Amino acid sequence: MRVKTNTARMKYVRKVRKRAKGFVMGRGKLFRTAVETIERAEAFSTRDRRARHRRFRELWITRISAAARQRGMSYSRLIEGLIKAGYKVDRKIMADLAIFEPKAFDALVEMARKALGAGAGKAKPVTAD
């Protein structure tokens, strides 16, 4: 028995053309070029999605570091103190606390100070004069 692939092939072509909608010139009209462009676009989207996660983590760490410095503690000492105290707060939440809930962030800093010991992290808070 002879099997034709016309139905399956046309379904695949329609799927590719739908995904290539909006591409300019042959990239949206010519099948082979559209397939290549879609593969490339998917590779870039995967790469850039992972890069976006890295950039956000950098941003959160910068915000936490700035807030911790205002309270007289470095970022690394703050994280070390929270780990020793047994608290697991992710950086996104800590950055939000630093901006929107300063009292809660102050409590985290105090917990980190207590966990680090009596002499640790007692520098004066930086004030803007």
Residue in 48, 13, 51 with CA at minimum distance from that of residue 33: 13
Confidence band of 1 (pLDDT split at 50, 70, 90) = confident
Q: Can you give the pTM of this predicted structure?
A: 0.69
- Give the whole-angstrom CA distance, residue 18 versus residue 94: 42
Contact 91, 78 (CB under 8 A): no
Domain ranges of the chain: 7-51, 57-116
Which of 1.10.1900.20, 3.30.1360.10, 2.60.40.420, 2.40.50.140 is the CATH number of 57-116?
1.10.1900.20
Confidence of residue 126 (pLDDT cuts 50, 70, 90): low
Give dist(CA 48, CA 55) in Å, integer: 10
